[in-house]
């Protein structure tokens, strides 16, 4: 249980960091983790709507989270522009 939570935080941080690089955003570690975790939910939902195979395991979770975090970052930039 504890290992799963730690792994989720690490995956969220990696996803948020990748999204920050792609979107040119400069956020801190805590914000990267939050955006990455929320991005994982958004990415899972969006990729679930598209009938394409997605990687499984940790690499798949990082990619899915990064895609969702990119979507979230783009939406926030549009709303608060």
Q: Is 65 exposed, middle or buried (0-12, 13-18, 19+ CB in 10 A)?
A: buried
For the chain, give the mean pLDDT.
83
Instruction: Provide the pLDDT for residue 26.
Output: 76
Instruction: Provide the pLDDT for residue 60.
Output: 83
Instruction: Provide the pLDDT for residue 30.
Output: 83
Q: Which of 15-19, 27-31, 34-38, 61-65 has the lowest mean pLDDT?
A: 27-31
Q: Give the closest residue to 13 by CA, choosing from 38, 39, 32.
A: 32
Q: Is the pLDDT of residue 13 over 80?
A: yes
Q: Is the pLDDT of residue 74 over 80?
A: yes
Model-wide pTM > 0.85: no
């Amino acid at each position: 249980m504890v290992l799963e939570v730690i792994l989720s935080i690490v995956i969220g941080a990696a996803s948020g960091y990748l999204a920050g690089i792609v979107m040119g955003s400069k956020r801190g570690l805590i914000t990267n983790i939050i955006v990455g975790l929320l991005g994982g939910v958004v990415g899972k939902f969006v990729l679930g709507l598209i009938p394409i195979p997605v990687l499984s395991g940790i690499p798949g979770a990082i990619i899915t989270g990064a895609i969702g975090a990119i979507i979230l970052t783009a939406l926030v930039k549009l709303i608060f522009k």
